[in-house]
């Protein structure tokens, strides 16, 4: 895993721009603390900041590859889990390799198949590949969008990078946000392809872009296809089990230590058990890690989304799988101290403690390893969230998680999450029509199955919305918080082969046993103990300690009372003060903390990034 940067200019000579290129790339040193490199030609400048995982000695980048008179240069972030098979195939076609890295395999794949090389990849990746003879750039991003890739065009110049900060460091790019950006930031979050800042874009998952002096051509290289599912229940469960074993085995490949995240929930527990079995075959013990909070048992209040504490289940699965477990316990002072880490990782206001606590977990894990497995995307792939099982969300003509929020938390609570904005700003940001427009666009993309019943068709829509609009937020969080500490996290449930197969499993079979993710539970029979396998889903834990809510309230009041605070231009001071002083009857602590976190991070964002707002 790494940080990548590229600067293409078809009109000007870039060979003298080494200093500027290094300054831009150095904004990503946290992503790649182990090595660095730059490569410049007349019209292309590529840079790389490396986290050494595969072939540390020989996998440096940007990597050059020559075939005859052709020269290719690559800056690449990610892992190809099938690089060994690809290497063998390419060797039969006459290619010879000087390294053991997947980077060289990617370059040879391009030499053989051109831009269609992405059709051959199984992995997580974002890369920029410059074809010197053609004077052409290929950008590509993995199937589910595990690795980020942003780009911007300014005249004859194209810039790209792993994070927004790399683009914002270039003299041509300004931190400008218009009304649409504010809608995305404060009300929607976010449309695929949007990057909030004006005229900066995110390359969508499963897309590639071919750029030359004639312009940019963006196309989709992979998509889900709807077709009848013909396997019976036992065959389906066995196929999922077989896929997961293969996926985990592939994703354990590394030349550095690999560990696993373990929350005691179904997803991480299943991956842990499979990985631990692989480790045992090699005579090794898997190390696992979980997050907890000081006095969590004392302050825990069960809810529909967090029905039980994780700790007992973590221990149950660790004992069963035979892992060496580590619990990372954090307290309010650490959460407050690291409140702004998500902002500076994301280059946009984040969500607060849900991101900061994950950063603290990864920071501790990095002391022992460089790579971990995580269970992200299982809920989107298999249907684990409450809104998959809610009639209100099923019937609502909007994004299901928003319908679920309005139902479970009340429309008053939902509105309060926007009420902190000043009336004139809220009027311009008014998300309803924008949200409806995005919903209609998303629904229009859903791959339909002819003859499918109304209920199955609607469930297919809900799955598609989760995979394309909800999952990106979690993958961004995972990538940015892990890479902020130079740590790679792999997500086996994002393997496109698994996603393709599960996509067509009927809803009734997905919920076999009348429980969420029933088919996954069935597939993990014999891999997990039955009690852990049947544990009801519990969301990622957050601190319920009142000291945390009080701390963010106090910080928010400092901003409210500072007439020069940048956020004053956006916020409804009266509302924010009432929330921070605890004078909004019935507003849960969770909602209070969320709103205060948003004010704190927005204020710091406007100040640190010198944002120009056009509203």
Domain spanning 2-220 has what CATH number? 3.60.20.10
Quick check: helix, strand or coil at residue 263? coil
**Residue 542 pLDDT:** 84
Q: Which two tokens stand for residue 31?
A: 């992503």
Q: Average pLDDT for residues 130-143, to the nearest whole number?
A: 98
Q: In the prediction, which pLDDT does 565 show?
A: 97
Task: Summarize the confidence of residues 351-375 as an average pLDDT.
Answer: 95
Which 3-state string (H, E, C) describes 274-330? Answer: HHHHHHHHCCCCCEEEEEEECCHHHHCCCCCCCCCCCHHHHHHHHHHHCCEEEEEEE
Tokens at 365, concatenated: 């894990």
Mean pLDDT for the stretch of residues 487-506:
98
DSSP label at residue 388: G
Which residue carries 């990503």 as its tokens? 28
Q: Is the pLDDT of residue 341 over 50?
A: yes
Cα 313 from Cα 232, distance rounded (Å): 31
206 versus 436: which is more confidently predicted? 206
Mean pLDDT, residues 223-245: 98
Whole-number pLDDT of residue 417: 60
For 48-66, what is each residue's pLDDT tens digit? 999 999 888 888 999 999 9
Q: Quick one: average pLDDT of 542-558?
A: 94
What does the domain layout of the chain look like in residue ranges? 2-220, 233-390+392-400+409-533, 546-614
Instruction: Quick: pLDDT tens for 369-398.
Output: 999 999 999 999 999 999 999 999 999 999
Query: For the structural domain made of 233-390+392-400+409-533, what CATH number should be given?
Result: 3.40.50.620
Confidence band for 408, pLDDT divided at 50, 70 and 90:
low
Phi, psi (deg, nearest 5) at residue 93 = -95, 10
Determine the average pLDDT of the residues in 7-18.
96
For the sheet containing 215-220, what is the strand order? 63-67, 70-80, 123-131, 136-141, 207-212, 215-220
- The half-sphere exposure of 302 on its side-chain side, counting CA atoms within 13 A, is 6
Q: Per the structure block, which two tokens stand in for 449? A: 């199955």
Helix (H, G, I), strand (E, B) or coil at 344: helix
What is the Cβ-side half-sphere exposure of residue 270, based on CA atoms within 13 angstroms? 30
Alpha carbons within 13 angstroms on the beta-carbon side of residue 138 total 24
**Of the ranges 349-363, 411-425, 444-458, which is most confident?**
444-458
Return the top range by mean pLDDT from 207-211, 351-355, 405-409.
Answer: 207-211
- Region 575-580: mean pLDDT is 95
pLDDT at 414 over 80: no
185 DSSP assignment: I
Buried/exposed code over 18-54 (b: 16+ C-beta within 10 A; e: otherwise): eeebeebbebbebbbbeebbbbbeebbbbbbbbbbbb
Please state the rounded mean pLDDT for residues 314-319.
97
Residue 413 pLDDT level (bands cut at 50, 70, 90): very low
pLDDT > 90 in the chain, percent: 84
CA atoms within 13 A on the CB side of 71: 11
Q: Which residues are catalytic?
A: 2
pLDDT averaged over every residue in the chain: 94
Q: Which DSSP state fits 154?
A: E
């Amino acid at each position: 895993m790494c940080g990548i940067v590229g600067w293409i200019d078809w009109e000007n000579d870039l060979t003298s721009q080494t200093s500027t290129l290094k300054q831009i790339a150095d904004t990503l040193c946290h992503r790649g603390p182990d090595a660095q490199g730059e490569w410049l030609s007349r019209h292309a400048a590529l840079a790389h900041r490396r986290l050494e995982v595969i072939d540390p000695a020989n996998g440096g980048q940007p990597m050059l590859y020559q075939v005859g008179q052709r020269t290719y240069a690559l800056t690449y972030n990610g892992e190809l889990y099938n690089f060994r098979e690809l290497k063998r195939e390419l060797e039969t076609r006459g290619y010879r390799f000087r390294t053991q890295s997947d980077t060289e395999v990617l370059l040879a794949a391009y030499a053989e198949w051109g831009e269609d090389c992405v059709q051959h990849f199984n992995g997580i990746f974002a890369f920029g590949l410059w074809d010197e003879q053609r004077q052409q750039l290929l950008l590509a991003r993995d199937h589910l969008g595990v690795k980020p890739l942003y780009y911007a065009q300014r005249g004859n110049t194209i810039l790209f990078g792993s994070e927004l900060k790399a683009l914002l460091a270039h003299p041509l790019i300004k931190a400008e946000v218009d009304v649409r950006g504010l809608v995305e930031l404060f009300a929607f979050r976010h449309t695929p392809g949007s990057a909030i800042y004006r005229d900066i874009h995110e390359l969508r998952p499963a897309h590639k872009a071919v750029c030359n002096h004639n312009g940019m051509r963006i196309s989709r290289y992979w998509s889900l296809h709807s077709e009848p599912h013909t396997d019976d229940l036992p065959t389906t469960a066995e196929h999922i089990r077989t896929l997961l074993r293969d996926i985990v085995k592939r994703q354990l490949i590394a030349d550095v230590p690999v560990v696993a995240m373990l929350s005691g929930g179904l997803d991480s527990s299943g991956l842990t058990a499979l990985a631990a079995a692989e480790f045992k075959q090699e005579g090794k013990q898997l190390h696992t890690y979980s997050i907890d909070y000081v006095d969590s048992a004392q302050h825990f209040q069960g809810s529909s989304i967090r029905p039980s504490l994780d700790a007992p289940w973590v221990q149950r699965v660790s004992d069963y799988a035979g892992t060496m477990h580590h619990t990372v316990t954090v307290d309010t002072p650490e959460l407050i101290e690291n409140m702004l880490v998500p902002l500076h990782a994301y280059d946009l206001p984040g969500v607060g403690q849900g991101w900061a606590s994950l950063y603290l977990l990864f920071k501790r894990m990095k002391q022992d390893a460089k790579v971990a497995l995580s269970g992200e995307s299982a809920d989107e792939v298999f249907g684990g969230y409450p809104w998959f099982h809610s009639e209100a969300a099923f019937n609502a003509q909007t994004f299901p998680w928003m319908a679920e929020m309005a139902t479970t938390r009340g429309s008053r609570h939902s509105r309060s999450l926007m009420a902190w904005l000043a009336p004139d700003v809220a009027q311009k940001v008014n998300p309803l029509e924008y949200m409806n427009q995005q919903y209609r666009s998303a629904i229009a993309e859903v791959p339909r199955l002819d003859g499918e019943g109304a209920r199955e068709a609607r469930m297919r829509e809900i799955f598609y919305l989760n995979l394309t609009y909800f999952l990106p937020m979690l993958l961004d969080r995972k990538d940015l918080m892990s890479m902020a500490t130079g740590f790679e996290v792999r997500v086996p449930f994002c393997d496109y082969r698994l996603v393709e197969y599960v996509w067509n499993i009927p809803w009734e079979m997905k919920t076999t046993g009348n429980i969420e993710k029933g088919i996954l539970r069935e597939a993990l029979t014999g891999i997990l103990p039955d009690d852990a396998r049947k544990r009801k889903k519990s969301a990622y834990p957050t601190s319920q300690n009142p000291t945390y809510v009080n701390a963010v309230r106090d910080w928010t009041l400092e901003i409210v009372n500072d007439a020069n605070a940048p956020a004053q231009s956006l916020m409804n001071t009266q509302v924010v003060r009432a929330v921070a002083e605890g004078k909004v009857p019935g507003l849960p602590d969770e909602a209070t903390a969320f709103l205060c976190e948003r004010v704190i991070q927005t204020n710091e964002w406007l100040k640190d990034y010198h944002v120009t707002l056009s509203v």
